[in-house]
Amino acid sequence: MTAEAVWAALDEIPDPEIPVISLVDLGVVRDVAVDGDHVRIEFTPTFLGCPALEVMRRAIEEKVEALGGEAEVAVIQDDSWSTDRISQAGREKLREAGFAPPTPRAAGPTTLVQLQSKAFRCPYCGSTETRLENIFGPTPCRSIRWCESCRQPFEQFKTI
Amino acid sequence: MHVSGRAQRLLQIADDELILGWRDSEWTGIAPTLEEDVAFSSIAQNEIGHARALYELAAAELGSDADALAFDRRPDEYRCAQLVELHLMDWARTIARRYLYEEADRIRIAALKAGDDAELAGLAAKIDREETYHRLHAEMWAARLRDEPRFRDALEELWPYALGVLEPDQRAELARRTGLRVESTDIVERGPHSPELAELWDEMTEVRRSVPGATW
């Protein structure tokens, strides 16, 4: 078993909440180390309040076991996951599915003024005439915005 | 159970986050607007996620697990501050608590981030990023309600409880941030619990107590 084979297998696991992107696209797999049959995977949670974390962890273990390996999933609870880790391909898949991808992480904390700025593009029509409807959405990682141009609500990935 | 200073500190913060998360979740379905229903549900879920991460650090030290720490202790073994225990089914008081709690929590998290404990500092940095969104929500509401007498009264009522969330050397900073005064305030210190905690605990642990040891 090679690390490449494990990465490829993990890339087949859909995000439990937003199945259009894989866990690899989401950037939650930080490292894969293969030692014979033993596979150590470093997993960085997205939001700590995400109810899908346990599901992701189990899916990783099952995938490695299907390859004939023995998985050790180390959960890394530090600041190393950021929405900046979502791959370019993942961002495009999010957009196609109607989720506006996150804006880049800034040096300082996000402000309300930033959230109310015109930097957010509607994933349906591309307009930047959008406004913040609710900082919070159906999962901890999403906000709700409204597009003034095509008059539809859409979900915005929160920057973290 | 012998609990080190570190584990004790972790349990204090984790208990605050769990119990406040539970209280905030009580607005699910009945908040004044649909947006707030979503906001409170999401904030509550995230605070409970923070509690879980902190319990896991404490559990590694105590040879326990996060669920056991969250649900298998007796009410008098919890280390939360009374601010988070209060049953406040009133919007002005609920917002006042969210605002005061977030301001206190911000000071506590900053101290953990700057501390020598690398594991805890790393987790605090992650929590801090997520809390940004809770703070924006609390600040927005505090700005909106600041001239409302009901909100002013609620801030004054809860201020002695808010001070009790923090260590004595962190309280001046909370006063500076909120414009309230530490002097001549009869602080409700962490330690004794309100009767409301026992009622909350009864409800929160009911399912788990009904079938001890079950896997859900």
What is the tens place of the pLDDT at every residue in B94-115? 999 999 999 999 999 999 999 9
**Contact call for A48 and B52, based on CB within 8 A:** yes
Residues 54-113 of A with CB under 8 A from B: 77-79, 81, 109-112
What are A69-99's pLDDT values in tens digits? 999 999 999 988 999 999 999 999 999 999 9
What share of chain B in percent tops pLDDT 70? 100
Asked, for residue B92, whether it belongs to a domain, the answer is yes
Check pLDDT > 80 for residue A43: yes
Q: Is A34 a residue whose pLDDT tops 90?
A: yes
| Contact status, residue A18 vs residue A50, Cβ threshold 8 Å | no
Q: Over chain A, what is the mean pLDDT?
A: 93
Class of domain A99-157: mainly beta
Model confidence, pTM: 0.94
B216 within some domain: no
Question: Domain coordinates of chain A in residue numbers?
Answer: 3-75, 99-157
A137 touches chain B (CB under 8 A): yes
| Spatial separation of the C-alpha atoms in residues A90 and A36, rounded to whole Å | 31
0.85 surpassed by complex ipTM? yes
Taking CA–CA distances from A158, the nearest residue in chain B reads B133
Sheet of A152-157: strand order equals: A99-100, A152-157, A142-147, A130-134
What CATH number is given to the structural domain containing B93? 1.20.1260.10
Give the number of domains in chain B. 1
- B50 lies in a domain? yes
Confidence of residue B194 (pLDDT cuts 50, 70, 90): very high
Query: Which backbone phi and psi does A146 adopt, to 5 degrees?
Result: -125, 135
Lowest mean pLDDT among A99-113, A123-137, A139-153: A99-113
Backbone angles phi, psi at B85, to 5 degrees: -80, -30
Nearest to A135 among B39, B49, B128 (CB): B39
pLDDT of B175 over the 90 cut: yes
Q: CB of A135 within 8 Å of any CB in chain B?
A: yes
- The CB density around residue B24, as the number of other CB atoms within 10 Å, is 26
- In A23-158, at which residue ranges do the beta strands (DSSP E only) sit? 29-35, 38-43, 70-75, 99-100, 130-134, 142-147, 152-157
Residue B86 in contact with residue B196, Cβ under 8 Å?
Answer: yes
pLDDT of B216 over the 80 cut: no
Structural domain containing residue B198: 5-210
Q: Cα–Cα distances in Å, from B76 out to B15, B16, B80, B194, B201?
A: 12, 14, 10, 10, 10
In a domain, residue B215? The reply is: no
pLDDT of A1 strictly over 90: no
Q: What is the dihedral of CA B3, B4, B5, B6, to 10 degrees?
A: -100
d(CA B20, CA B13): 11
Q: Do A139 and B42 touch (CB under 8 A)?
A: yes
Name the band, by pLDDT with cuts 50, 70 and 90, for residue B213: confident
Q: What number of other Cβ atoms are within 10 A of residue B192's Cβ?
A: 9
- Which helix (H) or strand (E) segment is B17 a member of? helix B5-25
Residues in contact with A124: Cβ distance below 8 Å, sequence separation at least 6, in sequence order: A98, A147, A150, A152, A154
Percent of chain A predicted with pLDDT > 90: 77
Give me the long-range contacts of B96-99 (CB less than 8 A, separation at least 24): B96/B151, B96/B154, B96/B155, B96/B157, B96/B158, B97/B20, B97/B154, B97/B158, B98/B24, B98/B43, B98/B134, B98/B137, B98/B138, B98/B141, B99/B138, B99/B139, B99/B141, B99/B142, B99/B155
The minimum CA-CA distance between A2 and chain B, rounded to whole Å, is 30
Centre a 10 Å sphere on the Cβ of residue B5 and count the other Cβ atoms it contains: 7
Section B71-91 average pLDDT = 96
- Whether residue B55 is predicted with pLDDT greater than 70 in this model: the reply is yes
A3-75 CATH, one of 3.40.50.300, 3.30.300.130, 3.60.20.10, 3.40.50.2300: 3.30.300.130
* pLDDT surpasses 90 at B119: yes
Sign of CA dihedral B100, B80, B84, B67: positive
Residue A116 forms contact with B (CB below 8 Å)? no
Which chain B residues touch A133 with a CB distance below 8 Å? 35
Distance from CA of B25 to the nearest CA of A (A): 13
